[in-house]
Chain A
Amino acid sequence: MSAVLEARRLGKAFRSYRSELQRFATWLGWPVRAESEYWALRDLDITIDAGESVAFVGQNGAGKSTFLKLIAGTLKPTEGTFALRGRVAAILELGLGFNPEFTGRQNATHAAGLMGHSAQHIAAAMDGIEAFAEIGEYFDQPVRTYSSGMQVRVAFAVVTAFRPDVLIVDEALSVGDAYFQHKSFERIRQFQREGTSLLIVSHDRAAIQALCSRAILLEAGRVIRDGDPSDVMDYYNALIAEREADTVRERRHESGRSQVISGTREAEVEDIALHDADGQPREHFNVGEPVELRIDIVVKTALPRLVLGYMIKDRLGQPVYGTNTHHTRQELTEVAPGKLRFNIRFPLSLGPGSYSVSTALVSTDTHLVNNYEWRELALVFSVGNEDKPPFVGTAWIPPQIEIAAR
């Protein structure tokens, strides 16, 4: 396979000078040192093969967008080189440069011209753009009468009217309504099948795994992981979790006990992990996979009664499933100090997405009587749909569909 993009020691610095006069002097060849220099990217060596789809992940400020802007050509590299083969199209911001007084058709012509297409080319593609946008007679109305969704439809239709060799998408995948999202996804997949390389920046694990065969994790302007999307995302999530734990610890220093972990602490969760069927702790699981939630607790003083509760919440904090050992009639009485382990096995009948587990150690079925420990976000894990037919929602309810003539 031939490389469609080869970046060698690519770097981008944002410089500021004590006075702008010094900057002007550098253009004339005067060797003035910048007062401060911020390297958004440094020493990047990345080769991307034709037809390969790569996701760039990392925290804000890691340099993902800077890299894509360099490739798209809006920013110029400070050092290093990159070679691109083929035509590049970038979806950095949809609907940019649209004039509200113009009709959708006029704006489409204008925007396609901005991408460098010739008049004949654009005229030939116009029917396709109109059909893809699906906004009916609004296409010939001024854009100021559009809803934001309609504007996005036209913009996306224009950018993807011509198949590029490299398509750059910066967090713009979740545009418009669900129907149009689906449609735009399908168009991107179609491009991939026809050989387009896709470079995306996204935080959406499901989108990354659906579209990309490779992920690159950037941190402080450098590549720190490059490989299979699911491995890279696991590493990334662990990195974030570590960082979040740090902040929690900091918060605890300041205010004694934070809201995140509350209670009298006579019993505490020492360790919590979600294990797969092989007993390995993991952070990412497949839909429907059998798992085991392992919770290790420490009992510090003798307790008359002990109930463990747990709750699985979705990304938005909505409860998905929760129960406790009181409801399962497994409450413990006259507990001596020591260590206990709870093994909770269940099939992971959840839809794709990110979930958290909260735990509660109490004396009855509510935490209001004797609350030993209440722990929010004790564990974060994600679920991806790797082998099931596509579906939406947080629940995995496998259907059996029978179709018969009648």
Chain B
Amino acid sequence: MKQLLVAAWRYRNFIVSSIRADFRARFGRSKLGATWMVLQPLAQASIFAFVLSEILSAKLPGIDSRFAYPTYLLAGTLAWTLFADLLGRCINVFVDNANLLKKIAFPRIALPAIAVGVAITNAMLLFVATSIVLLFIGHPPTWEFLWLIPVAGLIVAFAVGLGLLLGVLNVFVRDVGQVMSVMLQLWFWLTPVVYMPTILSPSRAHILALNPMSAAVGSFQQVVLYGQRPHLSTLLPLALASVILLPLGYVLFQRAAPEMVDEL
């Protein structure tokens, strides 16, 4: 484990330049360049806020604002996007970099590290854009927003643990990647991002309790919409899942590493 971290630290230079490369590749030849990094999430957040406030101005319990629902949606999207983006990257990270893995010797851990870096940067940009929109709709960020950091940390741990596990399996059984892209869509609807958990009948509601991501999304909504600190006890399943998945993914990664390049 220590060895792994040392290797990743030694390659920090490469990791950082790869993260930068990812963004440059996306926005490199456009006229506005790096501005798109903020403009794109800003556009997404604005559309949510201003379009939805017109169409769906449903009032949420305890909030007297026509921007209540858009705010709810922005908060949930922030959490879900971080999770889905990171999980998707981790699942494909080894397959997508097959050529590099086959031809150049470097610590394999650098690849998931790059995925984490890119996903976190994406999430931070989306957060900045969301904050700007929140400011406009009269819902400025508060100090309670600091609670988002530990919750985001849990989401990252969970996504990396699961992603590493599935990413390794995906090298040997490519169907994993296909299945997961479908599963992620289903998972999205099993998580209360666009709807309120209260609209479900009580018999269905405990399905959400089995989904660790619903608590993470709920915490974001709690912080952003109500300005309250999250109920830490609801995050316990997510923390537990991370504590199990992260070492499991790590062990699998270690065991599979010698055979991984043979199969790429």
Chain A residues packing against B (C-beta within 8 Å): 14-15, 20, 23-24, 27-28, 69, 72-76, 78, 88, 90, 92-93, 96-97, 99, 101-102, 109-110, 113-119, 122
Q: Which residue in chain A gives the minimum CB-CB distance to B28? A: A101
Q: Which residue in chain A gives the minimum CB-CB distance to B251? A: A27
Q: How far is the CA of A117 from the CA of B106 in the complex (A)?
A: 11
By a CB distance below 8 angstroms, the chain B residues around A27 are 252, 255-256
Q: Which residue in chain A gives the minimum CB-CB distance to B100? A: A97
User: Told that A14-B262, A101-B25 touch, could you supply 19 new A-B pairs with CB distance under 8 A?
Assistant: A15-B262, A24-B172, A27-B252, A27-B256, A74-B102, A74-B104, A74-B105, A74-B261, A75-B262, A76-B259, A88-B105, A99-B21, A99-B25, A110-B21, A113-B13, A114-B106, A115-B104, A116-B10, A119-B13
B13 touching A75, Cβ below 8 Å: no
A102 touching B103, Cβ below 8 Å: no
Q: How far is the CA of A70 from the CA of B24 in the complex (A)?
A: 34
From A15, A28, A110, give the contact of B14 (CB < 8 A).
A110
The A-contacting residues of B in range 196-242, CB under 8 angstroms, are none
- Interface check B188, CB cutoff 8 A: no
Q: How far is the CA of A20 from the CA of B14 in the complex (A)?
A: 33
A113 touching B25, Cβ below 8 Å: no
- Interface check B51, CB cutoff 8 A: no
B104 touching A23, Cβ below 8 Å: no
Q: How far is the CA of A99 from the CA of B25 in the complex (A)?
A: 8
12 A–B contacts, CB within 8 A, in A order: A15-B259, A27-B256, A72-B105, A73-B105, A74-B103, A74-B261, A78-B258, A99-B25, A102-B24, A110-B17, A113-B14, A113-B17
- Interface check B57, CB cutoff 8 A: no
A248 → chain B closest CB, angstroms: 36
Q: How far is the CA of A73 from the CA of B104 in the complex (A)?
A: 8
From B99, B173, B258, give the contact of A96 (CB < 8 A).
B99
A116 touching B100, Cβ below 8 Å: no
Q: How far is the CA of A72 from the CA of B261 in the complex (A)?
A: 13
From B11, B99, B252, B256, give the contact of A113 (CB < 8 A).
B11
B103 touching A93, Cβ below 8 Å: yes
Q: How far is the CA of A109 from the CA of B14 in the complex (A)?
A: 9
A30 → chain B closest CB, angstroms: 11
Q: How far is the CA of A88 from the CA of B104 in the complex (A)?
A: 11
Centre residue among B18, B21, B104, B258 by max chain A CB count within 10 A? B104
A101 touching B256, Cβ below 8 Å: no
B103 touching A92, Cβ below 8 Å: yes
- Interface check B101, CB cutoff 8 A: yes
Q: How far is the CA of A76 from the CA of B262 in the complex (A)?
A: 9
Q: Which residue in chain B gives the minimum CB-CB distance to A28? A: B255
Q: How far is the CA of A188 from the CA of B21 in the complex (A)?
A: 31
By a CB distance below 8 angstroms, the chain A residues around B99 are 96-97
A110 touching B18, Cβ below 8 Å: yes
By a CB distance below 8 angstroms, the chain A residues around B259 are 15, 23, 76
Known: A27-B252, A101-B28. A116 touches B11 (CB 8 A): yes
Q: How far is the CA of A78 from the CA of B261 in the complex (A)?
A: 13
From B17, B100, B102, B255, give the contact of A109 (CB < 8 A).
B17
B179 → chain A closest CB, angstroms: 14
Q: How far is the CA of A97 from the CA of B13 in the complex (A)?
A: 15
B262 touching A74, Cβ below 8 Å: no
The A-contacting residues of B in range 3-36, CB under 8 angstroms, are 10-11, 13-14, 17-18, 21, 24-25, 28-29
Q: How far is the CA of A233 from the CA of B10 in the complex (A)?
A: 42
Q: Which residue in chain B gives the minimum CB-CB distance to A27? A: B255
By a CB distance below 8 angstroms, the chain A residues around B102 are 69, 74
B24 touching A101, Cβ below 8 Å: yes
- Interface check B169, CB cutoff 8 A: yes
B71 → chain A closest CB, angstroms: 37
A390 → chain B closest CB, angstroms: 32
B5 → chain A closest CB, angstroms: 15
- Interface check B257, CB cutoff 8 A: yes
By a CB distance below 8 angstroms, the chain B residues around A92 are 103-104
By a CB distance below 8 angstroms, the chain B residues around A113 are 11, 13-14, 17
By a CB distance below 8 angstroms, the chain B residues around A69 are 102
By a CB distance below 8 angstroms, the chain B residues around A117 are 13
By a CB distance below 8 angstroms, the chain A residues around B104 are 74, 90, 92, 96-97, 114-115
Q: How far is the CA of A97 from the CA of B114 in the complex (A)?
A: 14
By a CB distance below 8 angstroms, the chain A residues around B172 are 20, 23-24
Q: How far is the CA of A23 from the CA of B255 in the complex (A)?
A: 11
By a CB distance below 8 angstroms, the chain B residues around A28 are 255
